[in-house]
Amino acid sequence: MLRGEASAQAPPAVGGSRCRGLNRSGSVRVPPRCPTEETASASDLSRHRTLPGPSQEVLPAVEVIRTASAREAGAAAAAVVANCIVENPRAVLGLATGSSPLPTYEALQEKNLDLDGVKAFALDEYVGLGPGHEQRYRHVIRREVIQPLGLRPSLVRVPDGLAPAPEDEAARFETSIRCAGGIDLQILGIGTNGHLGFNEPGSSFSSRTRVVELAETTRRDNARFFDSPDEVPTHAITQGLGTIFEARHLLLVANGPHKAQAVARAVQGPITEAFPASMIQRHPHVTIVLDRSSARFVGT
């Protein structure tokens, strides 16, 4: 459901309560008391807010920014991120990887923001990829985000895809997000099959950070980043859909005609776990930034 549309020249300002650390009722957001990351395990996930059920109201919360090109989409998305950081220099960001967010990170470099107090959490990480492999998201985020933007490496958390017990690492990662007070602005891409992060079709809307098996369509889509399709890992650690939903603002960026059908289904199709990105229709604060080709089916 679309709440409204904006031009690339005038991206909507991020809602103040989202980035100044206030919760939905307007009171000050205080990080919950929680165990240390070292003591957290897969069995140590406490209660969390869940998505509205099918009988509950769907919020008219999706705002779409249409632009002429991927470069303009990156500039518009970067303006949303910059607004959040200016309002709250200690904002907590969620970082996506892949080709769609790259123009956003490149445009952010031009803004010369002071990110020294900003914390960030990666959306996902491959399991089992060698420590020196350049496609480990730990390395990708360092190259594409931390170094160019000047984030403090100690404040950026990426799941450890080489942890001896990946499920426990997933629980520790979930706990670290909760202990940081939650994510203020989550940057997202979208898969051609509707995945968010590595939450493939069929993922529960209430799922938490966990180890998942990658769909063959996802592995094929990501093969372009590897020397051989056989190199693409079969499993990953990903923030769950329930984890993503708890971010105070979702910023989804998509570029290219191959994303057009997925974007349209996410924005105006049925809300179903068979298409994970459809959950954004239930979130109270969503901004979608599109280039012309990815937006062609939206509103039709």
Distance of alpha carbon 65 from alpha carbon 117, whole angstroms: 28
Distance of alpha carbon 90 from alpha carbon 85, whole angstroms: 7
Q: Which pLDDT score, from 0 to 100, does residue 189 have? A: 96
User: What is the average pLDDT value for the chain, to the nearest integer?
Assistant: 86
Mean pLDDT in residue range 20-36? 42
pTM for the whole structure: 0.84
Tokens of 143: 């190259």
Distance of alpha carbon 159 from alpha carbon 233, whole angstroms: 15
Report which listed range, 48-52, 225-229, 289-293, is most confident: 289-293
Give residue-wise pLDDT tens across range 48-84. 444 544 334 444 558 999 999 999 999 999 999 999 9
Mean pLDDT in residue range 106-111? 96
Q: What Cα–Cα distance (Å) separates residue 69 from each residue in 35, 190, 284?
A: 45, 17, 27
268 — pLDDT class (breaks 50, 70, 90): very high
Distance of alpha carbon 243 from alpha carbon 258, whole angstroms: 27
Q: Which pLDDT score, from 0 to 100, does residue 299 have? A: 84
End-to-end CA separation in angstroms for the chain: 12
Q: Is the pLDDT reported for residue 37 higher than 60?
A: no
Give residue-wise pLDDT tens across range 149-163. 999 999 999 999 999
Q: Give the residue, 42 or 13, on which the prediction is more confident.
A: 42
Tokens of 99: 């080709």
Q: Is the pLDDT reported for residue 117 higher than 50?
A: yes
Q: Which fold has domain 2-6+77-290?
A: Rossmann fold (3.40.50)
Q: Which pLDDT score, from 0 to 100, does residue 292 have? A: 97
Q: Is the pLDDT reported for residue 195 higher than 60?
A: yes
Q: Which pLDDT score, from 0 to 100, does residue 58 have? A: 44
Distance of alpha carbon 61 from alpha carbon 267, whole angstroms: 10
Q: Is the pLDDT reported for residue 269 higher than 70?
A: yes
Asked if 1 and 268 touch (Cβ cutoff 8 Å), the reply is: yes
Location of structure tokens 């499993």: 235
238 — pLDDT class (breaks 50, 70, 90): very high
Domain ranges, ordered by start, for the chain: 2-6+77-290
Asked if 84 and 185 touch (Cβ cutoff 8 Å), the reply is: yes
Distance of alpha carbon 272 from alpha carbon 241, whole angstroms: 12
Distance of alpha carbon 27 from alpha carbon 231, whole angstroms: 48
Distance of alpha carbon 183 from alpha carbon 283, whole angstroms: 14
Mean pLDDT in residue range 23-40? 43
User: Helix (H, G, I), strand (E, B), or coil: what is residue 196?
Assistant: strand
